[in-house]
Structure 1
Amino acid sequence: MVDCVVKDWQGADKGNASLDLKVAKEESAAHIVHRALVRQLANARQGTACTKTRSEVSGGGRKPWRQKGTGRARAGSNRSPLWRGGGVIFGPKPRDYSQKMNRKERRLALRTALQSRVADLIAVEDFAANLERPKTKEVLAAFQRWGVEADSKVLLIVSERQENVWLSVRNVERVRIISASNLNVYDILAADQIVATASAIAKIQEVYGDD
Protein backbone atom coordinates (compact mmCIF):
# COMPACT_ATOMS: atom_id res chain seq x y z
CA MET A 1 0.00 0.00 0.00
CA VAL A 2 1.17 3.52 -0.83
CA ASP A 3 -0.03 6.65 0.97
CA CYS A 4 0.15 9.96 -0.89
CA VAL A 5 -0.15 13.44 0.58
CA VAL A 6 -2.93 15.32 -1.20
CA LYS A 7 -2.25 18.98 -1.98
CA ASP A 8 -4.89 21.66 -2.44
CA TRP A 9 -5.02 24.33 -5.15
CA GLN A 10 -2.55 26.52 -3.25
CA GLY A 11 -0.09 23.67 -2.67
CA ALA A 12 -0.81 23.06 1.02
CA ASP A 13 -1.23 19.55 2.43
CA LYS A 14 -4.90 18.61 2.75
CA GLY A 15 -5.00 14.92 3.66
CA ASN A 16 -3.95 11.56 2.32
CA ALA A 17 -4.90 9.21 -0.50
CA SER A 18 -3.98 5.54 -0.53
CA LEU A 19 -3.25 3.27 -3.46
CA ASP A 20 -3.11 -0.48 -2.90
CA LEU A 21 -2.55 -2.43 -6.11
CA LYS A 22 -1.48 -6.00 -6.72
CA VAL A 23 1.74 -5.94 -8.76
CA ALA A 24 3.92 -8.51 -10.48
CA LYS A 25 6.70 -10.32 -8.64
CA GLU A 26 10.02 -8.53 -8.67
CA GLU A 27 11.73 -11.11 -10.88
CA SER A 28 9.05 -10.91 -13.59
CA ALA A 29 7.90 -7.27 -13.27
CA ALA A 30 10.27 -5.80 -15.85
CA HIS A 31 9.45 -8.54 -18.36
CA ILE A 32 5.68 -8.17 -18.20
CA VAL A 33 5.80 -4.36 -18.33
CA HIS A 34 8.13 -4.55 -21.34
CA ARG A 35 5.75 -6.95 -23.11
CA ALA A 36 2.81 -4.64 -22.49
CA LEU A 37 4.76 -1.63 -23.76
CA VAL A 38 5.91 -3.41 -26.93
CA ARG A 39 2.33 -4.59 -27.53
CA GLN A 40 0.93 -1.06 -27.18
CA LEU A 41 3.47 0.45 -29.56
CA ALA A 42 3.03 -2.37 -32.07
CA ASN A 43 -0.77 -2.08 -31.99
CA ALA A 44 -0.48 1.65 -32.69
CA ARG A 45 1.27 0.99 -36.02
CA GLN A 46 -0.94 1.40 -39.07
CA GLY A 47 0.86 -1.16 -41.18
CA THR A 48 -0.12 0.58 -44.43
CA ALA A 49 3.37 0.97 -45.94
CA CYS A 50 3.36 -0.48 -49.44
CA THR A 51 5.85 -0.70 -52.29
CA LYS A 52 5.44 -2.13 -55.78
CA THR A 53 7.27 -5.17 -57.03
CA ARG A 54 8.51 -5.46 -60.61
CA SER A 55 5.21 -7.13 -61.58
CA GLU A 56 3.17 -4.17 -60.25
CA VAL A 57 5.14 -1.26 -61.75
CA SER A 58 3.63 0.04 -64.97
CA GLY A 59 5.54 -0.37 -68.22
CA GLY A 60 8.28 -2.83 -69.00
CA GLY A 61 6.43 -4.73 -71.70
CA ARG A 62 9.13 -4.43 -74.34
CA LYS A 63 12.66 -5.72 -74.14
CA PRO A 64 14.87 -2.58 -73.89
CA TRP A 65 17.38 -3.83 -76.48
CA ARG A 66 18.26 -7.01 -78.29
CA GLN A 67 19.89 -9.84 -76.36
CA LYS A 68 23.23 -9.89 -78.15
CA GLY A 69 25.52 -7.64 -80.07
CA THR A 70 25.12 -4.32 -78.25
CA GLY A 71 27.98 -4.73 -75.78
CA ARG A 72 25.65 -3.97 -72.91
CA ALA A 73 24.39 -6.29 -70.21
CA ARG A 74 21.34 -8.41 -70.97
CA ALA A 75 18.06 -6.71 -70.05
CA GLY A 76 14.58 -8.09 -70.34
CA SER A 77 12.58 -5.25 -68.78
CA ASN A 78 13.12 -1.64 -67.83
CA ARG A 79 11.12 -2.32 -64.64
CA SER A 80 13.81 -4.55 -63.14
CA PRO A 81 14.74 -3.62 -59.54
CA LEU A 82 18.19 -2.75 -60.90
CA TRP A 83 16.73 0.05 -63.01
CA ARG A 84 15.67 3.53 -61.97
CA GLY A 85 11.88 3.47 -61.75
CA GLY A 86 11.85 -0.27 -61.38
CA GLY A 87 10.23 -2.41 -58.72
CA VAL A 88 11.39 -2.84 -55.12
CA ILE A 89 12.92 -6.07 -53.85
CA PHE A 90 11.42 -7.30 -50.57
CA GLY A 91 9.81 -3.93 -49.89
CA PRO A 92 7.13 -3.43 -47.22
CA LYS A 93 3.58 -4.59 -47.87
CA PRO A 94 0.45 -3.88 -45.81
CA ARG A 95 0.46 -6.08 -42.71
CA ASP A 96 -0.98 -6.33 -39.23
CA TYR A 97 1.55 -5.56 -36.50
CA SER A 98 -0.84 -6.15 -33.59
CA GLN A 99 0.21 -8.46 -30.78
CA LYS A 100 -1.96 -10.39 -28.35
CA MET A 101 -1.70 -10.31 -24.58
CA ASN A 102 -4.08 -11.73 -22.01
CA ARG A 103 -6.32 -9.23 -20.25
CA LYS A 104 -5.05 -10.28 -16.81
CA GLU A 105 -1.48 -9.76 -17.94
CA ARG A 106 -2.28 -6.34 -19.40
CA ARG A 107 -3.92 -5.20 -16.17
CA LEU A 108 -1.07 -6.61 -14.09
CA ALA A 109 1.48 -4.78 -16.25
CA LEU A 110 -0.46 -1.51 -15.91
CA ARG A 111 -0.66 -1.82 -12.12
CA THR A 112 3.02 -2.70 -11.92
CA ALA A 113 4.02 0.27 -14.10
CA LEU A 114 1.89 2.66 -12.05
CA GLN A 115 3.20 1.34 -8.75
CA SER A 116 6.77 1.77 -9.99
CA ARG A 117 6.15 5.50 -10.49
CA VAL A 118 4.78 6.33 -7.02
CA ALA A 119 7.97 8.27 -6.21
CA ASP A 120 7.08 10.68 -9.04
CA LEU A 121 3.35 10.82 -8.20
CA ILE A 122 1.81 14.06 -6.94
CA ALA A 123 -1.73 13.79 -5.56
CA VAL A 124 -3.90 16.93 -5.65
CA GLU A 125 -7.46 17.85 -4.84
CA ASP A 126 -9.92 18.14 -7.69
CA PHE A 127 -9.37 21.64 -9.01
CA ALA A 128 -11.98 22.05 -11.73
CA ALA A 129 -14.00 24.31 -9.42
CA ASN A 130 -11.04 26.71 -9.23
CA LEU A 131 -11.23 27.36 -12.97
CA GLU A 132 -14.15 29.58 -13.91
CA ARG A 133 -13.00 29.37 -17.50
CA PRO A 134 -10.16 27.65 -19.35
CA LYS A 135 -6.91 29.27 -18.22
CA THR A 136 -3.61 27.62 -19.07
CA LYS A 137 -1.55 30.14 -17.07
CA GLU A 138 -3.39 29.34 -13.83
CA VAL A 139 -2.95 25.58 -14.20
CA LEU A 140 0.79 25.92 -14.95
CA ALA A 141 1.14 28.17 -11.88
CA ALA A 142 -0.61 25.48 -9.81
CA PHE A 143 1.84 22.90 -11.16
CA GLN A 144 4.70 24.98 -9.75
CA ARG A 145 2.97 25.22 -6.35
CA TRP A 146 2.52 21.43 -6.34
CA GLY A 147 6.22 20.87 -6.92
CA VAL A 148 6.22 19.98 -10.60
CA GLU A 149 9.65 20.68 -12.03
CA ALA A 150 9.94 23.15 -14.88
CA ASP A 151 10.16 21.63 -18.38
CA SER A 152 9.39 18.12 -17.11
CA LYS A 153 6.94 15.94 -19.03
CA VAL A 154 3.76 15.69 -16.95
CA LEU A 155 0.96 13.14 -17.08
CA LEU A 156 -2.21 14.63 -15.58
CA ILE A 157 -4.70 11.95 -14.51
CA VAL A 158 -8.30 13.04 -13.84
CA SER A 159 -11.32 10.95 -12.91
CA GLU A 160 -13.40 12.18 -15.83
CA ARG A 161 -13.26 14.79 -18.55
CA GLN A 162 -13.98 18.30 -17.28
CA GLU A 163 -14.04 20.85 -20.03
CA ASN A 164 -12.25 23.74 -18.29
CA VAL A 165 -9.39 21.51 -17.14
CA TRP A 166 -9.13 19.80 -20.53
CA LEU A 167 -9.06 23.04 -22.49
CA SER A 168 -6.53 24.60 -20.10
CA VAL A 169 -3.82 22.00 -20.68
CA ARG A 170 -4.46 20.51 -24.11
CA ASN A 171 -2.11 22.93 -25.90
CA VAL A 172 0.78 22.56 -23.43
CA GLU A 173 3.33 20.42 -25.23
CA ARG A 174 4.88 18.91 -22.09
CA VAL A 175 1.55 18.04 -20.43
CA ARG A 176 -0.64 15.08 -21.37
CA ILE A 177 -4.06 14.76 -19.78
CA ILE A 178 -5.81 11.41 -19.51
CA SER A 179 -8.80 10.00 -17.65
CA ALA A 180 -8.32 7.28 -15.04
CA SER A 181 -10.29 4.81 -17.16
CA ASN A 182 -7.90 5.26 -20.11
CA LEU A 183 -4.57 4.63 -18.40
CA ASN A 184 -1.88 2.96 -20.47
CA VAL A 185 1.64 1.74 -19.86
CA TYR A 186 3.35 4.05 -22.36
CA ASP A 187 2.03 7.32 -20.91
CA ILE A 188 2.82 6.21 -17.36
CA LEU A 189 6.43 5.35 -18.23
CA ALA A 190 7.05 8.27 -20.60
CA ALA A 191 6.15 10.99 -18.07
CA ASP A 192 8.79 12.56 -15.83
CA GLN A 193 6.16 13.33 -13.19
CA ILE A 194 2.56 12.23 -12.67
CA VAL A 195 -0.14 14.49 -11.23
CA ALA A 196 -3.34 12.70 -10.22
CA THR A 197 -6.46 14.10 -8.61
CA ALA A 198 -7.79 12.44 -5.46
CA SER A 199 -10.91 11.28 -7.29
CA ALA A 200 -8.74 9.78 -10.06
CA ILE A 201 -6.72 7.82 -7.49
CA ALA A 202 -9.97 6.56 -5.95
CA LYS A 203 -11.20 5.49 -9.38
CA ILE A 204 -7.93 3.70 -10.15
CA GLN A 205 -8.24 1.86 -6.86
CA GLU A 206 -11.83 0.96 -7.67
CA VAL A 207 -11.11 -0.29 -11.19
CA TYR A 208 -7.77 -2.02 -10.65
CA GLY A 209 -7.70 -2.78 -6.93
CA ASP A 210 -9.87 -5.91 -6.93
CA ASP A 211 -7.66 -8.15 -9.10
Structure 2
Amino acid sequence: MPNVNVLDIKGNKVSSLDLPESLFAVEVNEHTVYEVVKNHLANKRQGTQSAKTRAEVRGGGKKPWRQKGTGRARQGSIRSPQWRGGGVVFAPKPRDYSYTLPKKVKRLALKSVLTTKVLDEELIVLNDLNLDSISTKEAKNVLQAINAKNKAYLVVAEANENVYKSFRNIPNVEVVVVNNMNVYDLVKHDSLVMTEAAINKAEEVFA
Protein backbone atom coordinates (compact mmCIF):
# COMPACT_ATOMS: atom_id res chain seq x y z
CA MET A 1 0.00 0.00 0.00
CA PRO A 2 1.65 3.30 -1.11
CA ASN A 3 2.14 5.89 1.60
CA VAL A 4 2.46 9.64 1.01
CA ASN A 5 2.95 12.72 3.17
CA VAL A 6 -0.03 15.00 3.68
CA LEU A 7 0.72 18.73 3.48
CA ASP A 8 -1.17 21.87 4.40
CA ILE A 9 -1.45 24.82 1.99
CA LYS A 10 1.76 26.28 3.44
CA GLY A 11 3.74 23.19 2.51
CA ASN A 12 4.12 21.82 6.04
CA LYS A 13 3.78 18.09 6.65
CA VAL A 14 0.80 17.42 8.91
CA SER A 15 0.44 13.63 8.61
CA SER A 16 0.82 10.66 6.28
CA LEU A 17 -1.76 8.74 4.30
CA ASP A 18 -2.04 5.20 2.99
CA LEU A 19 -3.39 5.45 -0.55
CA PRO A 20 -6.02 2.92 -1.66
CA GLU A 21 -4.36 0.14 -3.65
CA SER A 22 -7.39 -0.18 -5.91
CA LEU A 23 -6.59 3.25 -7.40
CA PHE A 24 -2.94 4.00 -6.79
CA ALA A 25 -1.24 0.58 -6.90
CA VAL A 26 -2.56 -1.25 -9.95
CA GLU A 27 -0.62 -2.81 -12.79
CA VAL A 28 -0.03 0.01 -15.27
CA ASN A 29 -1.57 -0.63 -18.69
CA GLU A 30 -0.10 1.92 -21.11
CA HIS A 31 -2.17 0.79 -24.09
CA THR A 32 -5.48 1.56 -22.38
CA VAL A 33 -4.13 5.03 -21.52
CA TYR A 34 -3.27 5.55 -25.18
CA GLU A 35 -6.73 4.37 -26.28
CA VAL A 36 -8.54 6.65 -23.83
CA VAL A 37 -6.44 9.71 -24.74
CA LYS A 38 -7.04 9.03 -28.46
CA ASN A 39 -10.76 8.67 -27.78
CA HIS A 40 -10.82 11.94 -25.79
CA LEU A 41 -9.14 13.87 -28.61
CA ALA A 42 -11.38 12.29 -31.26
CA ASN A 43 -14.50 13.25 -29.31
CA LYS A 44 -13.28 16.87 -29.10
CA ARG A 45 -12.95 17.19 -32.89
CA GLN A 46 -15.51 19.51 -34.47
CA GLY A 47 -15.61 17.52 -37.69
CA THR A 48 -16.44 20.60 -39.79
CA GLN A 49 -13.67 20.23 -42.38
CA SER A 50 -15.08 20.41 -45.89
CA ALA A 51 -13.82 20.69 -49.47
CA LYS A 52 -15.46 20.42 -52.89
CA THR A 53 -15.24 17.48 -55.24
CA ARG A 54 -15.06 18.02 -59.02
CA ALA A 55 -18.85 17.65 -59.14
CA GLU A 56 -19.32 20.58 -56.75
CA VAL A 57 -16.85 23.10 -58.18
CA ARG A 58 -18.46 25.84 -60.27
CA GLY A 59 -17.72 25.78 -64.01
CA GLY A 60 -15.87 23.29 -66.15
CA GLY A 61 -18.83 22.22 -68.22
CA LYS A 62 -17.18 22.70 -71.57
CA LYS A 63 -14.41 20.48 -72.91
CA PRO A 64 -11.32 22.77 -72.94
CA TRP A 65 -10.09 21.55 -76.36
CA ARG A 66 -10.89 18.85 -78.86
CA GLN A 67 -9.98 15.27 -78.09
CA LYS A 68 -7.40 14.71 -80.83
CA GLY A 69 -4.97 16.62 -82.97
CA THR A 70 -3.68 19.28 -80.55
CA GLY A 71 -0.67 17.36 -79.26
CA ARG A 72 -1.81 17.97 -75.71
CA ALA A 73 -3.19 15.46 -73.24
CA ARG A 74 -6.91 14.82 -73.54
CA GLN A 75 -9.00 16.81 -71.05
CA GLY A 76 -12.70 16.73 -70.35
CA SER A 77 -13.02 19.54 -67.82
CA ILE A 78 -10.94 22.37 -66.35
CA ARG A 79 -12.36 21.41 -62.93
CA SER A 80 -10.66 18.00 -62.85
CA PRO A 81 -8.41 17.47 -59.78
CA GLN A 82 -5.16 18.00 -61.70
CA TRP A 83 -6.20 21.54 -62.69
CA ARG A 84 -5.65 24.66 -60.61
CA GLY A 85 -9.09 25.54 -59.28
CA GLY A 86 -10.29 22.00 -59.80
CA GLY A 87 -12.05 19.75 -57.31
CA VAL A 88 -10.38 17.68 -54.58
CA VAL A 89 -9.99 13.92 -54.87
CA PHE A 90 -11.82 12.20 -51.99
CA ALA A 91 -12.63 15.63 -50.51
CA PRO A 92 -13.18 15.67 -46.71
CA LYS A 93 -16.77 16.27 -45.66
CA PRO A 94 -18.31 17.14 -42.27
CA ARG A 95 -18.50 14.03 -40.11
CA ASP A 96 -18.70 12.90 -36.50
CA TYR A 97 -15.37 11.54 -35.23
CA SER A 98 -16.63 10.57 -31.78
CA TYR A 99 -16.87 6.98 -30.58
CA THR A 100 -17.33 5.24 -27.26
CA LEU A 101 -15.08 3.01 -25.20
CA PRO A 102 -16.09 0.43 -22.59
CA LYS A 103 -16.35 1.81 -19.07
CA LYS A 104 -13.87 -0.81 -17.82
CA VAL A 105 -11.23 0.44 -20.25
CA LYS A 106 -11.68 4.02 -19.06
CA ARG A 107 -11.47 2.95 -15.42
CA LEU A 108 -8.32 0.92 -16.00
CA ALA A 109 -6.68 3.82 -17.83
CA LEU A 110 -7.55 6.22 -15.00
CA LYS A 111 -6.13 3.87 -12.38
CA SER A 112 -3.01 3.34 -14.48
CA VAL A 113 -2.36 7.08 -14.70
CA LEU A 114 -2.98 7.59 -10.97
CA THR A 115 -0.56 4.78 -10.19
CA THR A 116 2.01 6.32 -12.53
CA LYS A 117 1.69 9.67 -10.75
CA VAL A 118 2.55 7.95 -7.47
CA LEU A 119 5.48 6.03 -8.99
CA ASP A 120 6.86 9.22 -10.58
CA GLU A 121 6.36 11.16 -7.32
CA GLU A 122 4.05 13.64 -9.04
CA LEU A 123 1.20 13.24 -6.55
CA ILE A 124 0.80 15.90 -3.84
CA VAL A 125 -1.81 15.34 -1.13
CA LEU A 126 -3.26 18.26 0.86
CA ASN A 127 -5.22 17.94 4.07
CA ASP A 128 -7.58 20.63 2.78
CA LEU A 129 -7.74 23.35 0.12
CA ASN A 130 -9.72 26.36 1.24
CA LEU A 131 -9.09 30.04 0.54
CA ASP A 132 -10.73 32.84 2.52
CA SER A 133 -11.20 34.97 -0.58
CA ILE A 134 -10.65 34.97 -4.33
CA SER A 135 -6.94 35.67 -4.73
CA THR A 136 -4.70 34.59 -7.59
CA LYS A 137 -1.68 35.74 -5.61
CA GLU A 138 -2.62 33.43 -2.74
CA ALA A 139 -3.18 30.58 -5.19
CA LYS A 140 0.32 31.06 -6.62
CA ASN A 141 1.75 31.05 -3.09
CA VAL A 142 0.03 27.71 -2.41
CA LEU A 143 1.50 26.11 -5.54
CA GLN A 144 4.94 27.44 -4.67
CA ALA A 145 4.71 26.24 -1.05
CA ILE A 146 3.81 22.67 -2.02
CA ASN A 147 6.42 22.57 -4.84
CA ALA A 148 3.90 21.91 -7.58
CA LYS A 149 5.27 21.98 -11.11
CA ASN A 150 4.21 24.52 -13.74
CA LYS A 151 1.43 22.32 -15.07
CA ALA A 152 -0.72 21.45 -12.05
CA TYR A 153 -4.01 19.53 -11.92
CA LEU A 154 -5.95 20.22 -8.71
CA VAL A 155 -8.66 17.74 -7.76
CA VAL A 156 -11.13 18.64 -5.00
CA ALA A 157 -14.04 16.74 -3.50
CA GLU A 158 -16.63 19.49 -3.98
CA ALA A 159 -16.89 22.67 -6.02
CA ASN A 160 -15.41 25.70 -4.28
CA GLU A 161 -15.86 29.10 -5.92
CA ASN A 162 -12.95 30.76 -4.13
CA VAL A 163 -10.56 27.98 -5.11
CA TYR A 164 -11.78 27.76 -8.70
CA LYS A 165 -11.65 31.50 -9.39
CA SER A 166 -8.30 31.91 -7.63
CA PHE A 167 -6.52 29.28 -9.71
CA ARG A 168 -8.24 29.77 -13.08
CA ASN A 169 -6.07 32.76 -14.10
CA ILE A 170 -2.83 30.83 -13.63
CA PRO A 171 -1.59 29.35 -16.95
CA ASN A 172 -1.52 25.54 -17.20
CA VAL A 173 -3.34 25.10 -13.87
CA GLU A 174 -6.76 23.47 -13.73
CA VAL A 175 -9.17 22.79 -10.87
CA VAL A 176 -11.75 19.98 -11.17
CA VAL A 177 -14.13 18.06 -8.98
CA VAL A 178 -13.35 14.34 -8.56
CA ASN A 179 -16.24 13.25 -10.82
CA ASN A 180 -14.83 15.33 -13.71
CA MET A 181 -11.29 13.96 -13.46
CA ASN A 182 -10.18 12.47 -16.77
CA VAL A 183 -7.18 10.61 -18.17
CA TYR A 184 -6.25 13.20 -20.82
CA ASP A 185 -5.90 16.02 -18.29
CA LEU A 186 -4.00 13.79 -15.86
CA VAL A 187 -1.48 12.92 -18.56
CA LYS A 188 -1.21 16.52 -19.76
CA HIS A 189 -0.32 17.97 -16.35
CA ASP A 190 2.95 17.35 -14.52
CA SER A 191 1.70 17.63 -10.92
CA LEU A 192 -1.44 16.06 -9.50
CA VAL A 193 -2.67 17.82 -6.35
CA MET A 194 -5.49 16.08 -4.46
CA THR A 195 -7.12 16.74 -1.12
CA GLU A 196 -7.69 13.90 1.34
CA ALA A 197 -11.43 14.28 0.84
CA ALA A 198 -10.95 14.01 -2.93
CA ILE A 199 -8.99 10.77 -2.56
CA ASN A 200 -11.71 9.28 -0.35
CA LYS A 201 -14.38 10.29 -2.83
CA ALA A 202 -12.34 8.97 -5.78
CA GLU A 203 -12.15 5.61 -4.05
CA GLU A 204 -15.94 5.56 -3.73
CA VAL A 205 -16.52 6.61 -7.34
CA PHE A 206 -13.82 4.78 -9.31
CA ALA A 207 -12.52 1.87 -7.21
Q: What is the one-letter code of the residue matched to 2:41?
A: L
Q: Check conservation: 2:79, 2:87, Cα contact below 8 A.
A: yes
Q: Please state how far the C-alpha of 1:86 moved relative to its aligned partner.
A: 0.8
| Alpha-carbon offset, residue 182 of structure 1 | 0.8
Q: Find the residue that maps to 2:107 and give its secondary structure.
A: helix
Would you say the 8 A contact 1:6–1:13 is kept in 2? yes
Deviates more, 1:15-24 or 1:30-39: 15-24
Structure 1 unaligned blocks of 5 or more? none
Q: Which moved more, 1:180-189 or 1:61-70?
A: 61-70
Shift of the 203–43 alpha-carbon distance from structure 1 to 2, 3 Å rule, reads: same
Deviates more, 1:95-104 or 1:175-184: 95-104
* Alignment root-mean-square deviation, CA: 2.1
Unaligned runs of 5+ in 2: none
Instruction: Report the Cα offset of residue 71 of structure 1.
Output: 4.2
**Corresponding residue for 1:203?**
201
Query: Does the residue aligned with 1:114 lie in a helix, a strand or coil?
Result: helix
> In 2, distance between residues paired with 1:155 and 1:30?
20
Match for residue 147 of structure 2? 147
Q: What does residue range 83-94 of structure 1 map to in structure 2 within 5 Å?
A: 83-94=83-94
* Partner Cα separation in structure 2 for residue 184 and residue 131 of structure 1: 28
- Please, which of 160, 169, 172 is the counterpart of residue 170 of structure 2? 172
Taking structure 1 as reference, are residues 92 and 163 closer, same or farther at Cα in structure 2, changes over 3 Å only?
same
Q: Is the 8 A contact 1:158 1:199 kept in 2?
A: yes
What is the aligned partner in structure 2 of residue 124 from structure 1? Answer: 126
Aligned-partner residue type, residue 182 of structure 1: N
Report the alpha carbon displacement of residue 41 of structure 1 after superposing the two structures with TM: 1.9
Whole-angstrom CA distance in 1 between matches of 2:144 and 2:66: 77
Q: C-alpha distance in 1, partners of 2:164/2:100?
A: 32
Deviations 1:102-123 (A, max 9, x none): 1122112111211210121111
Identity score, percent: 46
Count of aligned residue pairs for this structure pair: 204
User: TM-score by structure 2 length?
Assistant: 0.88
Aligned residue identity for 2:136: T
